[in-house]
Amino acid sequence: MGQHVIKMPDVGEGIAEAELVEWHVKVGDPVAEDMVLAAVMTDKATVEIPSPVEGTVAWLGGEVGEQISVGAPLLKIEVAGDGNDDAAAAPKPAAPQAEDEDEPAAPARPTADGAETTANRQPDDDAAQDAPVAPRERPDTPAPPAGKAARDRRLPAQTRKEGDKPLAAPAVRLRAREAGVDLRFVRGSGPAGRITHEDLDLHLEAGDRPGAVAARAPDNRVTDFKVVGLRRRIAEKMQVAKSRIPHITYVEEVEMDALEDLRAALNTRKRDDQTRLTVLPFLLLAMVKAIREQPGLNALYDDEAGVVHQHGGVHVGIATQTRNGLVVPVVRHAETLDLWACAAEIARLAEAARNGTATREELSGSTITITSLGALGGIATTPVINHPEVAIVGVNKMQVRPVWDGAQFLPAKMMNLSSSFDHRIIDGWEAAVFVQRIKTLLETPASIFIED
Amino acid sequence: MRDIKCQLLVIGAGPGGYVCAIRAGQLGLDTVIVEAEKPGGTCLNVGCIPSKALIHAADEFAKASAFAAGGTPLGIHAGEARIDYPKTAEWKDGIVRRLTNGVSGLLKKAGVKHVDGWARFRDGKTVHVDTPTGPQTVTADHIVIATGSTPIELPGLPFGGAVLSSTGALALTEIPQKLAVVGAGYIGLELGTAFAKLGSQVSVLEAMERILPAYDEELTRPVKKRLEALGVRVLTGVKAERHSASAGTLSYTDGGQSGTVPADAVLVTVGRAPATKGWGLEELDLTMDGRFIAVDDQCRTSMRGVHAIGDVTGEPMLAHRAMAQGEMVAEIVAGKRRAWDRHCVPAVCFTDPEIVTAGLSPQEATAAGLDVRSASFPLQANGRAMTIERDDGFVRIVARDDNHLVVGVQAVGAQISELASYFAHAIEMGARLEDVAQTVHAHPTLGEAFQEAALRTLGHALHI
C-alpha cells in the first residue's frame, strides 16, 4: 500500500492560494478515479478537484473555509501499490513555494485583456501534473492527531444518536413526566446530548403544551453558519463597494410597448436554433450604444492608484442568482454581438453560472454590470456597483400602468430602470444623460439598430 | 370485627411497603399496611442492618485482637481482646429496635393504619388478615404486594438446628467455633468474614468455580486475597452434601471426590426466592415473570389496581430499589404521573474489602452493543487508602467511547461503600468523564480515585 498525495492545483494565473469550500469525501471513504474529491475557490471560480487514482481517503489537508497554498498537500489517498508520497523517506523542510509566488501574484488582477490570452485551464490536468511533485508535508503534523482533534472538537456540539435513550437528570425527567412530555422528542443541548431544564422549557414553549399556539411561541434559537466560500466573497465584495464607492442611484421609467411588440414579433419568427429573446439583449445593445456616446461609464476606477481604466470593449456582467449565491458571468465584447448572439450568450452564461460550470474567465473581467430583479417585482432598487466598475444598471418589473398622454390615461407596459453610479467619477448629470439615452433607445427600439 | 375500607392497602412492611405507605399517607391517601412481623422487613430485622452491625463489631474485635497480638505497623499495643457476644448481640438488636420503632412512628405520623397479621387475598380488591384479635377483612381500591423474599433452602440441608439461614446466623447468641458457609454470594461472604474475624474457623463452599460469581473476577480478587489472609478456607466447584452434628462436619463432593469441612454450624446462603406463597397469589392469577410477579414500568401487575414492588418483582433484590418503587407507586396511586426511568440501582457487597457496582460493567456494556472505554485507578496510589491501612482495591469507570458518557462504575476497597451513591449520582445525572475529571475532589479521600479513574480513562491520570 502506498499513499498518493494530491496537492492544491494552480487554479488560475498568479493565484497563490485558494479557499477550500467543500469536501466531497471524508477520511476512510473509498474513491474511484475521476470522482470529485473537493471544491476550491479562487477569486470567482469554483474548481472541483477530481481524484487521479483509485483508493481510500487517508488524510484531509484542511477545513472548509481554510486558505490552502497552491502546491500544498490537499489530501492523501491510500492506493494499492506505490503511491507518490515519499515524504517519510525524504522529508523536506517546509518552505512553501507559494509564499515566494505571493509577491508578484498579489497585485495581479485579471483584466479582460489578460483573460483573453489565457488558456482555459483544466483542473484535471493540474491535479495530474501536480501529483508527482515531491510533497511538502511537514513531518511534525502527521495524520493521526488531525483525526483525534476532529473527534474532540465534535464532542461538545454532539447530540444523541438516533435510538439512544434520552439523557436527562432525574429532576428533568420528573418534570417532563409531569408535563406529559416524552423526552425522546426533546432536543438535548447539553454535553452528550443531555436534556437540560432549559431544553425542556423550550420544548414546552414550542407548543407541546396542550392548547398552546405553536406559531406564537417565541423562537429563541440562534443558528450559526460560517461565512465561507462564495458567501464570503460576496460579503467582502459588497463591503468594499459600499464602503468605498459613494453611490448615486437614479430611477427612471421606460415605456416598453414598442420594444415588447418587436420582441414578440421576433420571437414568433425566430429560427429553432435561435435563443428566445428576453428584454436583456435589447438592454445590452442599448447600453453598448449609449456607452459609445459616453465611454466614461464603461470603466474601472483604481482608486488607490488614482487611475480610471476606460475600456473600449464592453464586457457586461450579468448578475445571476445561483444556488450558492450571487455570481456575475460576463458577456465579453458585447459591442461585437448582434441581438441573437447576445441573447444566446446571456442564456449560455446564466446556465453555466447556475450549474457551476462557468470558468474563472467567464466570471471575471466585466466593465459594467446589469442586475435584474424584474421577475420578483419591486418598483425600484438601489443596486450596488460591481467594484471597481463605475456603473450598474438595474431592471425592475415590467407591468401595465396608466400613462397620461396629454388627453387621457392609457394603459402602457412600464418598466423602471434603477441605476447606480460611482459619484466620484460620474456626475449626476452624466448619469441622468446615460439613463435617458437608454430610455430613448428602448422606447424607440429601431434606433438601437440604426448606425448613427 | 368491622371490615376496613381504604384507598390503598400495602401487604408487607419491608423497605418497599413501609416507604410506599408513608408516602401514600403524606399524599392524603387513606392507607392500610398489613404486616405479621415487626415493620422494617428483612432489611431492618434480619438483613442489611443487623448484618452491618455484626460486621462492625467483628472489625473492631479483629482490630483489638491485632493490637493484642502486637506487631501492627501502627505501634499500638493492647491487652487481651475479649468479646462478650451476648452483649454484642444485644447492642445489634438495640439498633434494630430503634429503627423498627422509628418506622412504626413514621407510619403513624403519616396517618397509616397498621394491621398486625398475615394477609391472604380473597380477590383483587379484598384481603383477609388473621390478626391476634381475630379475622379482619380489608377492602381497597389499590393493593400493593410487597411481600419480599425468603432464603432458599437446600434439599439436603433444611434450615433448623445447626443449619442456619442468614436470619438464624444473625440470631446466634454465641460464636460458632467451626462454621461452614454454603454459597459464596455476598450474604455468605459478609457473614462468613464477620464470624472469621470473631474467631470462628470458617470454611466457604461454592458450587461455581469462583466466589461472588455475580461479579467480574477482577472485582472479587481483593476479596479472595483478604479471605485467605483471614484464614478462611474457600472451596469452589464443590457441592455441599450432609451435616453431621455428632462429628461436627459438613460433607461435600468435588467432582467424583468427596471430603468434609469442620462445622458446628452450617450457614446456607444460596440465594433468596420471592415470597409468592401463603398469601393467596393463586386467587389472583397474576402474570408471572419466572419466579417473580411480572410488573411494568409503573409496577402494575396484570390485574387492574394491583401493584407489586420489591424483591417479589425481581432482581436486583435490594432494599433501595424497593423503596424507590414504593415511593413511585404511592405517587401513581395519588394520581401523579410517574414511571420507572432510573438509569441504575447501585449495589454494595459489605465484604472485606467492600464492592460497589453502579450501572454497567465493561462486559455488560459491550453486550449491550456499546463501544466503551474503561480504566481503573488502584487504591495503592490513593493517599487516604494508605492512611487507613487499606490500599487494596481500585475504582473502575466504564464510559461510552463516542461521547464519554459514564455508563458504569465498579469499585472495590475498604469503606468504598460510602461512594456508592456518588457513583450512582454521576450516572443518573448523565455525567461524562470530563465532568468527573473537572470536579475538584477533596483531598485526601477515597473519592479521588474516582476522579483519577476518569482521568485515566481520558488518557491522562495524574497520580499513576
Residue of A nearest to B335 (CA): A178
Predicted confidence band at B407 (pLDDT cuts at 50, 70, 90)? Answer: very high
- For residues B57 and A102, the model is more confident at B57
Q: Read off the pLDDT of residues B27-36 as tens digits, 9 standing for 90 and up.
A: 999 999 999 9
| CB atoms A177 and B434 under 8 Å | no
Q: Read off the pLDDT of residues B447-464 as tens digits, 9 standing for 90 and up.
A: 999 999 999 999 999 988
| Residues A308 and A270 occupy one common structural domain | yes
Set of chain A residues whose Cβ sits within 8 Å of the Cβ of B345: none
Domain spanning B163-270: which superfamily? FAD/NAD(P)-binding domain (3.50.50.60)
Of A155, A167, A180, the CB nearest to B337: A180
pLDDT average per 10 residues of sequence, chain A (452 residues): 80 73 86 85 74 86 82 84 58 41 41 41 42 40 40 40 80 90 86 88 72 52 84 90 95 95 93 91 96 95 93 94 89 94 94 86 92 83 94 94 92 95 95 96 93 72
CA torsion angle A129 A132 A134 A137 (round to 10): 90
| Residues A162 and A275 occupy one common structural domain | no
Give me the total of CB pairs closer than 8 Å, taking one residue from chain A and one from chain B: 36
Of B337, B338, B430, the CB nearest to A168: B430
Q: By mean pLDDT, which of A22-36, A233-247, B129-143, B367-381 is the weakest?
A: A22-36
Q: Domain total for chain A?
A: 3
C-alpha cell at A74: 490537499
Residue of B nearest to A171 (CA): B429
Residue of B nearest to A151 (CA): B402
In percent, the amount of chain B with pLDDT more than 90 equals 97
Q: Read off the pLDDT of residues B166-183 as tens digits, 9 standing for 90 and up.
A: 999 999 999 999 999 999
Q: Read off the pLDDT of residues B275-310 as tens digits, 9 standing for 90 and up.
A: 999 999 998 989 999 999 999 999 999 999 999 999
Of A171, A189, A216, the position where a domain reaches its end is A216
- Residues of B with active-site annotation: 443
| Residues A304 and A385 occupy one common structural domain | yes
| Contacts for B346-349: CB closer than 8 Å, 24+ residues apart | B346/B320, B346/B420, B346/B421, B346/B423, B346/B424, B347/B316, B347/B318, B347/B420, B348/B417, B348/B420, B349/B186, B349/B189, B349/B190, B349/B212, B349/B215, B349/B223
A12 Cβ partners below 8 Å, 6+ apart? Answer: A42, A43, A45, A110, A121, A360
Instruction: Look at residue A205 and tell me if it is in a domain.
Output: yes
CATH 3.20.20.70 is held by the domain B347-458 = no
Res B241 pLDDT > 60: yes
Residue of B nearest to A172 (CA): B429
Distance from CA of A21 to the nearest CA of B (A): 28
Set of chain B residues whose Cβ sits within 8 Å of the Cβ of A155: 403-404
Distance from CA of B456 to the nearest CA of A (A): 16
Set of chain B residues whose Cβ sits within 8 Å of the Cβ of A182: none
State the average pLDDT over residues B419-446. Answer: 96
Instruction: Look at residue A141 and tell me if it is in a domain.
Output: yes
Question: Which stretches of chain A sit within 8 Å of chain B by CB?
Answer: 155, 158, 160-161, 167-170, 173, 177-178, 180, 190-194
Set of chain B residues whose Cβ sits within 8 Å of the Cβ of A190: 430
Of A158, A178, A194, the CB nearest to B430: A194
Of A158, A177, A192, the CB nearest to B337: A177
Interface test with B, best of A151, A173, A199 (most B CBs within 10 A): A173
CA distances to A266, A275, B234, B459 from A269, in Å: 5, 12, 107, 78
Set of chain B residues whose Cβ sits within 8 Å of the Cβ of A173: 341
Set of chain B residues whose Cβ sits within 8 Å of the Cβ of A156: none
* CB half-sphere exposure, A36, CA atoms < 13 A: 10
| Residues A186 and A127 occupy one common structural domain | no
| Residues A138 and A31 occupy one common structural domain | yes
Instruction: Look at residue A222 and tell me if it is in a domain.
Output: no
pLDDT of residue A43: 65
| CB atoms A191 and B339 under 8 Å | no
For B211, the enclosing helix (H) or strand (E) is none
Interface test with B, best of A154, A165, A167, A181 (most B CBs within 10 A): A167
Residue range(s) defining the domain that contains residue A126 = 2-152
Question: Which stretches of chain B sit within 8 Å of chain A by CB?
Answer: 336-339, 341-342, 400, 402-405, 428-430, 432, 434-435
Of A168, A173, A192, the CB nearest to B403: A192
Instruction: Specify the CATH number for the domain of residue A70.
Output: 2.40.50.100
| Residues A166 and A266 occupy one common structural domain | no
- Residues of A with active-site annotation: 423, 427
End-to-end CA distance of chain B: 71
Q: Hey, what CATH class is B4-46+90-149+273-333 in?
A: alpha beta
| CB atoms B403 and A155 under 8 Å | yes
For B7, the enclosing helix (H) or strand (E) is strand B4-11
| Residues A168 and A77 occupy one common structural domain | no
Set of chain A residues whose Cβ sits within 8 Å of the Cβ of B404: 155, 192
Q: Read off the pLDDT of residues B189-237 as tens digits, 9 standing for 90 and up.
A: 999 999 999 999 999 999 999 999 999 999 999 999 999 999 999 999 9
| CB atoms B403 and A158 under 8 Å | yes
| CB atoms A192 and B435 under 8 Å | no
| Residues A337 and A425 occupy one common structural domain | yes
Distance from CA of A72 to the nearest CA of B (A): 32
Set of chain B residues whose Cβ sits within 8 Å of the Cβ of A199: none
The Cα A452–Cα B299 span in angstroms is: 97
pLDDT of residue B354: 98
At residue A133, what is the residue type?
V
Contact at 8 Å (CB) between B146 and B275?
A: no
Listed in order, the ranges of chain B carrying CATH 3.50.50.60 are 4-46+90-149+273-333, 163-270
| CB atoms B403 and A170 under 8 Å | no
Residue of A nearest to B342 (CA): A170
| Residues A199 and A260 occupy one common structural domain | no
| Residues A189 and A280 occupy one common structural domain | no
pLDDT of residue B291: 96
Contact at 8 Å (CB) between A131 and A75?
A: no
| Residues A117 and A254 occupy one common structural domain | no
B360 Cβ partners below 8 Å, 6+ apart? Answer: B368, B370, B372, B398, B407, B408
Instruction: Specify the CATH number for the domain of residue A211.
Output: 4.10.320.10
| CB atoms A192 and B434 under 8 Å | no
| CB atoms B435 and A191 under 8 Å | yes
Q: Is B74 helix (H, G, I), strand (E, B) or coil?
A: coil
pLDDT of residue A12: 63
Instruction: Specify the CATH number for the domain of residue A438.
Output: 3.30.559.10
Of A155, A173, A193, the CB nearest to B341: A173
For B428, the enclosing helix (H) or strand (E) is helix B420-428
Total-model pTM: 0.59
Q: How many CB atoms lie within 10 A of CB A262?
A: 17
Listed in order, the ranges of chain B carrying CATH 3.30.390.30 are 347-458
Contact at 8 Å (CB) between B201 and B177?
A: yes
Set of chain B residues whose Cβ sits within 8 Å of the Cβ of A161: 402
| Residues A367 and A423 occupy one common structural domain | yes
Of B336, B342, B405, the CB nearest to A192: B405
Instruction: Look at residue A223 and tell me if it is in a domain.
Output: no
Contact at 8 Å (CB) between B107 and B118?
A: no
| CB atoms A167 and B405 under 8 Å | yes
